[in-house]
Chain A
Amino acid sequence: QKEVEQDPGPLSVPEGAIVSLNCTYSNSAFQYFMWYRQYSRKGPELLMYTYSSGNKEDGRFTAQVDKSSKYISLFIRDSQPSDSATYLCAMDNQGGKLIFGQGTELSVKP
């Protein structure tokens, strides 16, 4: 079993929809949680960075961490075609070595 599980999709939604992306993990030592966005043929771009449990909001993006359930989520409100990309969750146990989910491919249709 992988340390971090992420549904690869693909996920297709209409423009304006609320998108929910999720990851589960097994290592309770993880304390830092990240979401990266990756466009085709580009490197991952940091979207959200959170520590421990709770919510963090940045514009149309909200990251949630539930350490008791070992579950993290990324919500995208009012989704746009420009949000079409692969979204990667990543986690760190303070050792500096990130463990990534395999990524969810999102398509937002106009």
Chain B
Amino acid sequence: DAGITQSPRHKVTETGTPVTLRCHQTENHRYMYWYRQDPGHGLRLIHYSYGVKDTDKGEVSDGYSVSRSKTEDFLLTLESATSSQTSVYFCAISDPGGNQPQHFGDGTRLSIL
């Protein structure tokens, strides 16, 4: 395993509530990513970070925010969850040297009722 821990692994919540997902890495990699995976869409990038306090938007960033105050932690927040955000969320990490590939955690299954 690539030293990536996602928490929680499963969560059920109600529409309109705030939700925060955590990704923790032990590899000291500079780059971290949040994806969502939905049937028929594959994996789509939500936000990514290229260093502490440095983040940028991905393909499907609306309704999501991120924060990275330490190298090892990358948080994804749904400020007011909607049913369309029901998905499986994956965190990935990579070291930017030499275009290294991304390695993934085992995901968080989020259901919004």
Contact = CB atoms under 8 A, between A and B. Distances in A.
Interface in B93-113: 94, 96, 99, 101-107
A8 B42 CA distance: 10
Given A92-B99, A97-B48, A43 B90 contact: yes
A46 B99 contact: no
A56 to B, nearest CB: 13
A42 B103 CA distance: 12
B48 A44 contact: no
Contacts of B44: 100
B87 to A, nearest CB: 14
A97 B58 contact: yes
Nearest to B101: A49
Contact of A44 (B43, B58, B59, B94): B43
**Interface extent on B, as a size class?**
20 to 34
Contacts, number: 52
Given A43-B90, A44-B90, A98 B102 contact: yes
A22 to B, nearest CB: 15
A78 to B, nearest CB: 25
B42 A32 contact: no
A102 B40 contact: yes
A94 interface: yes
B34 interface: no
A102 B103 contact: no
A4 B94 CA distance: 22
For A44, A46, A103, the residue with the greatest tally of chain B CB atoms inside 10 Å of its CB is A44
A46 B94 CA distance: 12
Interface in A23-68: 32, 34, 36, 41-46, 49, 51
A96 B48 contact: yes
Interface of B: 4, 31, 40-45, 48, 50, 58-59, 90, 94, 96, 99, 101-107
14 contacts: A32-B99, A41-B106, A42-B106, A43-B106, A43-B107, A44-B43, A44-B90, A46-B101, A46-B102, A88-B42, A94-B99, A96-B99, A98-B43, A102-B41
